[in-house]
Amino acid sequence: MYIHRDTKSNAIGLPLGKIVCVGRNYADHIEELNNAVPDEPLLFIKPATALCSFAEPISIVAGQGECHNELEIAILIKSPLTKASESDIFPAIWGYGLGLDLTLRDVQNRLKEMGLPWERAKSFDYSCPMSDFVAREQIIDGENLAFSLSINGELRQQGNTRLMLNNVTKLLVEISQSFTLLPGDIVMTGTPKGVGPLLIGDKVEAKMEHYLRICSTVV
Protein backbone atom coordinates (compact mmCIF):
# COMPACT_ATOMS: atom_id res chain seq x y z
CA MET A 1 0.00 0.00 0.00
CA TYR A 2 1.19 3.51 -0.78
CA ILE A 3 2.48 5.82 1.97
CA HIS A 4 4.52 9.01 1.56
CA ARG A 5 8.24 8.13 1.84
CA ASP A 6 11.49 10.07 1.93
CA THR A 7 14.50 9.26 -0.27
CA LYS A 8 15.77 6.75 2.32
CA SER A 9 12.42 4.92 1.97
CA ASN A 10 11.38 5.91 5.50
CA ALA A 11 7.72 6.73 6.10
CA ILE A 12 7.22 10.50 6.28
CA GLY A 13 4.34 10.24 8.73
CA LEU A 14 1.90 12.49 6.93
CA PRO A 15 -1.58 11.16 6.08
CA LEU A 16 -2.76 10.56 2.52
CA GLY A 17 -4.91 13.37 1.23
CA LYS A 18 -6.17 14.86 -1.97
CA ILE A 19 -3.99 15.63 -4.94
CA VAL A 20 -4.61 19.02 -6.50
CA CYS A 21 -3.48 19.07 -10.13
CA VAL A 22 -2.93 21.95 -12.49
CA GLY A 23 -3.58 21.66 -16.21
CA ARG A 24 -1.90 23.84 -18.83
CA ASN A 25 1.01 25.21 -16.82
CA TYR A 26 3.69 24.82 -19.51
CA ALA A 27 3.38 26.73 -22.80
CA ASP A 28 4.90 23.92 -24.90
CA HIS A 29 2.29 21.40 -23.67
CA ILE A 30 -0.62 23.83 -24.23
CA GLU A 31 0.57 24.11 -27.82
CA GLU A 32 0.90 20.36 -28.42
CA LEU A 33 -2.73 19.72 -27.42
CA ASN A 34 -4.02 22.89 -29.17
CA ASN A 35 -5.46 24.23 -25.93
CA ALA A 36 -5.98 27.88 -25.06
CA VAL A 37 -3.65 29.58 -22.55
CA PRO A 38 -5.82 29.92 -19.42
CA ASP A 39 -6.33 33.28 -17.66
CA GLU A 40 -6.04 31.48 -14.33
CA PRO A 41 -4.67 28.02 -13.49
CA LEU A 42 -6.95 25.17 -14.51
CA LEU A 43 -7.34 22.97 -11.42
CA PHE A 44 -8.69 19.49 -10.83
CA ILE A 45 -8.42 16.94 -8.03
CA LYS A 46 -7.46 13.30 -7.78
CA PRO A 47 -8.51 11.43 -4.62
CA ALA A 48 -6.03 9.66 -2.31
CA THR A 49 -7.09 6.36 -3.93
CA ALA A 50 -5.23 7.51 -7.07
CA LEU A 51 -1.86 7.18 -5.30
CA CYS A 52 0.50 4.25 -5.82
CA SER A 53 4.26 3.85 -5.77
CA PHE A 54 6.03 5.00 -8.95
CA ALA A 55 8.74 2.36 -8.42
CA GLU A 56 6.21 -0.49 -8.54
CA PRO A 57 4.94 -1.71 -11.93
CA ILE A 58 2.52 0.82 -13.45
CA SER A 59 -0.75 -0.81 -14.46
CA ILE A 60 -2.72 0.86 -17.21
CA VAL A 61 -6.44 0.54 -17.70
CA ALA A 62 -7.48 -1.81 -20.53
CA GLY A 63 -10.23 -1.11 -23.04
CA GLN A 64 -10.51 2.65 -22.57
CA GLY A 65 -8.23 3.91 -25.31
CA GLU A 66 -4.86 5.59 -24.86
CA CYS A 67 -3.39 6.09 -21.38
CA HIS A 68 -0.89 8.97 -21.54
CA ASN A 69 2.15 9.83 -19.44
CA GLU A 70 2.25 13.29 -17.86
CA LEU A 71 5.38 13.61 -15.70
CA GLU A 72 5.10 16.42 -13.17
CA ILE A 73 6.90 17.87 -10.16
CA ALA A 74 4.84 16.98 -7.08
CA ILE A 75 4.84 19.07 -3.91
CA LEU A 76 4.08 17.40 -0.56
CA ILE A 77 2.34 19.73 1.91
CA LYS A 78 3.21 19.54 5.62
CA SER A 79 1.11 22.29 7.19
CA PRO A 80 -2.30 23.78 6.33
CA LEU A 81 -2.61 26.53 3.72
CA THR A 82 -5.84 28.52 3.51
CA LYS A 83 -6.00 31.70 1.46
CA ALA A 84 -2.23 31.85 1.77
CA SER A 85 0.10 34.64 0.73
CA GLU A 86 3.51 34.10 -0.88
CA SER A 87 5.47 34.18 2.41
CA ASP A 88 3.32 31.32 3.80
CA ILE A 89 4.24 28.87 1.06
CA PHE A 90 7.84 27.77 1.61
CA PRO A 91 7.44 26.80 5.30
CA ALA A 92 4.35 24.70 4.41
CA ILE A 93 6.21 22.48 1.91
CA TRP A 94 7.56 19.13 3.16
CA GLY A 95 9.38 18.35 -0.06
CA TYR A 96 9.46 17.69 -3.79
CA GLY A 97 8.87 14.51 -5.76
CA LEU A 98 7.89 13.26 -9.20
CA GLY A 99 4.40 12.09 -10.02
CA LEU A 100 2.73 10.70 -13.12
CA ASP A 101 -0.66 12.23 -13.90
CA LEU A 102 -1.90 9.22 -15.87
CA THR A 103 -4.58 10.36 -18.28
CA LEU A 104 -7.05 8.35 -20.34
CA ARG A 105 -6.71 10.73 -23.29
CA ASP A 106 -9.53 9.35 -25.45
CA VAL A 107 -11.91 9.43 -22.49
CA GLN A 108 -10.75 12.98 -21.64
CA ASN A 109 -11.27 14.19 -25.22
CA ARG A 110 -14.79 12.77 -25.23
CA LEU A 111 -15.58 14.45 -21.88
CA LYS A 112 -14.02 17.75 -23.03
CA GLU A 113 -16.16 17.76 -26.17
CA MET A 114 -19.28 17.33 -24.07
CA GLY A 115 -18.15 19.95 -21.55
CA LEU A 116 -18.14 17.36 -18.76
CA PRO A 117 -15.76 16.97 -15.79
CA TRP A 118 -12.56 14.95 -16.30
CA GLU A 119 -12.57 12.65 -13.28
CA ARG A 120 -13.17 9.45 -15.25
CA ALA A 121 -10.10 10.26 -17.36
CA LYS A 122 -7.83 11.53 -14.60
CA SER A 123 -8.89 10.41 -11.13
CA PHE A 124 -9.33 6.64 -11.36
CA ASP A 125 -7.59 4.20 -8.96
CA TYR A 126 -3.77 4.25 -9.32
CA SER A 127 -3.85 7.17 -11.75
CA CYS A 128 -1.10 8.91 -9.77
CA PRO A 129 2.15 6.89 -9.41
CA MET A 130 4.29 8.88 -6.94
CA SER A 131 8.03 8.88 -6.18
CA ASP A 132 9.76 9.26 -2.84
CA PHE A 133 10.00 12.89 -1.71
CA VAL A 134 13.19 14.93 -1.39
CA ALA A 135 13.02 17.07 1.75
CA ARG A 136 12.68 20.80 1.11
CA GLU A 137 15.92 21.48 3.02
CA GLN A 138 17.87 19.35 0.51
CA ILE A 139 16.58 21.21 -2.56
CA ILE A 140 18.74 24.14 -3.64
CA ASP A 141 16.02 25.95 -5.64
CA GLY A 142 12.49 24.58 -6.03
CA GLU A 143 11.77 27.15 -8.73
CA ASN A 144 14.58 25.72 -10.88
CA LEU A 145 14.15 21.93 -10.90
CA ALA A 146 14.93 20.04 -14.09
CA PHE A 147 13.13 16.77 -14.73
CA SER A 148 12.71 14.28 -17.54
CA LEU A 149 10.98 11.10 -18.63
CA SER A 150 12.41 8.44 -20.92
CA ILE A 151 10.45 5.53 -22.33
CA ASN A 152 12.47 2.50 -23.50
CA GLY A 153 15.62 4.64 -23.39
CA GLU A 154 14.14 7.42 -25.55
CA LEU A 155 13.67 10.90 -24.08
CA ARG A 156 9.96 11.77 -24.16
CA GLN A 157 9.50 14.66 -21.72
CA GLN A 158 11.82 17.33 -20.41
CA GLY A 159 10.85 20.21 -18.14
CA ASN A 160 12.04 22.69 -15.58
CA THR A 161 9.92 24.38 -12.93
CA ARG A 162 11.31 27.76 -14.05
CA LEU A 163 9.36 27.34 -17.34
CA MET A 164 5.97 27.13 -15.62
CA LEU A 165 3.38 29.80 -16.45
CA ASN A 166 2.66 29.97 -12.69
CA ASN A 167 5.65 29.09 -10.52
CA VAL A 168 5.34 26.83 -7.48
CA THR A 169 4.77 29.70 -5.04
CA LYS A 170 2.12 31.45 -7.17
CA LEU A 171 0.39 28.15 -7.87
CA LEU A 172 0.09 27.22 -4.18
CA VAL A 173 -1.17 30.71 -3.31
CA GLU A 174 -3.79 30.45 -6.06
CA ILE A 175 -4.87 26.89 -5.11
CA SER A 176 -5.22 27.84 -1.45
CA GLN A 177 -7.75 30.55 -2.34
CA SER A 178 -10.20 27.78 -3.38
CA PHE A 179 -9.01 24.62 -1.61
CA THR A 180 -7.45 24.44 1.84
CA LEU A 181 -4.31 22.35 1.50
CA LEU A 182 -3.85 20.00 4.45
CA PRO A 183 -0.81 18.09 5.74
CA GLY A 184 -0.27 15.12 3.41
CA ASP A 185 -1.96 16.71 0.40
CA ILE A 186 0.02 16.81 -2.84
CA VAL A 187 0.07 19.45 -5.55
CA MET A 188 0.91 18.29 -9.08
CA THR A 189 2.37 21.26 -10.93
CA GLY A 190 1.58 20.48 -14.57
CA THR A 191 3.23 18.66 -17.43
CA PRO A 192 5.62 19.85 -20.13
CA LYS A 193 5.17 18.63 -23.71
CA GLY A 194 5.78 15.05 -24.73
CA VAL A 195 2.61 13.37 -23.55
CA GLY A 196 1.85 10.13 -25.38
CA PRO A 197 0.47 6.62 -24.98
CA LEU A 198 2.04 4.16 -22.54
CA LEU A 199 2.12 0.57 -23.75
CA ILE A 200 2.38 -2.67 -21.82
CA GLY A 201 6.04 -3.61 -21.46
CA ASP A 202 7.36 -0.03 -21.68
CA LYS A 203 10.40 0.67 -19.52
CA VAL A 204 9.91 4.02 -17.81
CA GLU A 205 12.72 6.12 -16.34
CA ALA A 206 11.94 9.40 -14.57
CA LYS A 207 14.56 11.81 -13.24
CA MET A 208 14.66 14.94 -11.16
CA GLU A 209 18.14 16.23 -11.92
CA HIS A 210 20.55 15.82 -8.95
CA TYR A 211 17.86 14.37 -6.69
CA LEU A 212 15.77 11.43 -7.96
CA ARG A 213 15.81 8.57 -10.43
CA ILE A 214 12.92 6.11 -10.71
CA CYS A 215 12.74 3.08 -12.98
CA SER A 216 9.47 1.28 -13.56
CA THR A 217 7.65 -0.91 -16.05
CA VAL A 218 4.20 -0.63 -17.58
CA VAL A 219 2.10 -3.76 -17.06
Site for Zn ion in 42-71 (CB under 5 A): 70
Stretch that binds Zn ion, among 49-57, 98-106, 139-147, 195-203 (CB under 5 A): 98-106
**In the complex, residue closest to Zn ion by CB:** 101
Buried b (16+ CB within 10 A) or exposed e, 149-168: bbbeeeebbbbbbebbbbbb
How many residues contact Zn ion, by CB under 5 A? 3
- Applying CB under 5 A, does 25 fall inside the site for Zn ion? no
What pairing do the DSSP bridges indicate for beta strands 51-53 and 128-130?
parallel
CB of 100 to Zn ion, least distance (A): 9
Q: Of 9 and 34, which CB lies nearer to Zn ion in the complex structure? A: 34
User: Is the separation of the CB atoms in 147 and 205 below 8 Å?
Assistant: no
Name residue 26's amino acid.
Y
Length of the chain equals 219
CB of 24 to Zn ion, least distance (A): 9
Q: Of 6 and 101, which CB lies nearer to Zn ion in the complex structure? A: 101
CB of 84 to Zn ion, least distance (A): 22
Longest dimension (CA), the chain: 46
What pairing do the DSSP bridges indicate for beta strands 186-188 and 19-23?
parallel
Using CA atoms of 110, 102, 70, 89 in order, give the dihedral in degrees to the nearest 10. 110
> Contacting Zn ion (CB under 5 A), which of 6, 101, 132, 185?
101
d(CA 139, CA 95): 8
Q: What x-and-dash track marks residues 171-210 binding Zn ion by CB under 5 A? A: --------------------x-------------------
CB of 215 to Zn ion, least distance (A): 21
Q: How far is CA 40 from the centre of its chain?
A: 18
Q: Of 101 and 185, which CB lies nearer to Zn ion in the complex structure? A: 101
Residues forming the site for Zn ion (CB under 5 A): 70, 101, 191
